[in-house]
Every structure is written in structure tokens, then in C-alpha cells.
Amino acid sequence: MANLSLSRQFLRRRDARRRLKCSAVVECRGISRKIEIVDFSTAGLRLDGVTGLAAGDHVQIVLVPDLHVEGVIAWSVWHKAGVTLSQPLAERDAVYMYLADQAAMIEQARTRAVIALAQQYATRAQQPDTD
């Protein structure tokens, strides 16, 4: 049981992740594929839509033409993969700021949706029951 606990602790991420939905292109061995970044931290990215890549593959993730980051596939399961960045991102890095802006847009959309649902619920609660 101690080994299981130790392995979980080893695998646990040490940095905060931010959710987002951001299209990008992954390049590996001269082949480019469109993927989606679904979360990020200063140390890595989680990708969706990944095919043909395996743990240990060196990749370049292109966000927009002049904005990219390099890393290594840490794990790959089905169409999902985790990338450990070659160089951790600082909060002032252009890549970090771009991803943070994308994450903020997702969070704002989520907040607006929750507010709209709450308003609909409140409106229904104020209407008299006609049954």
C-alpha cells in the first residue's frame, strides 16, 4: 500500500492547471496535426485530438504563426496526451499570456452561462403555479 501512495505522490502535478479550449498544431518528425489544448500550467499542456504520438516524442506546439512552445510527450492514451514543456513558462511569457487569455475567455463564458441559468430559474420561481 505504501508503494501505491508513493507512486500517486510522484505522479501528482505540482503546479496549478487552467482549463481552456484552444486549437493549435502539433509538429513531430516533420508531420503536423491539428489538436486542441484542453488545459495548461507553467510546466505542461494536456492535448486532445492527438494521433500517432507516443511518450518520449519531442514535439512543437504552434499556437499562432509566431507563437510556439516545445516539449516531450509525457503520456498518451487514445486521443489524449500530456506534454512536459522543455522550458517552464513564466507568467510574462507570450505563450503563457496567450493561453491565460484563452482560459479567461472560457471562464467568462462559463460564468455568463451560470448567470443566465440562475436568472431563468429565478424567473420561473416567481411565476405563479397554474396547475
Alpha helices in the chain (DSSP H): 2-11, 94-126
The per-residue pLDDT for 105 is: 85
- What pLDDT was estimated at residue 130? 65
Strand partners, 81: 47, 76
12-126 homologous superfamily: predicted glycosyltransferase like domains (2.40.10.220)
Domain ranges of the chain: 12-126
Spatial contact of 104 and 20, defined as CB atoms under 8 Å apart: no
pLDDT digits (tens, 9 = 90+) for 24-47: 999 999 999 999 999 999 999 999
Of the listed ranges 16-20, 48-52, 81-85, the least confidently predicted one is: 16-20
Least confident of 36-50, 91-105, 114-128: 114-128
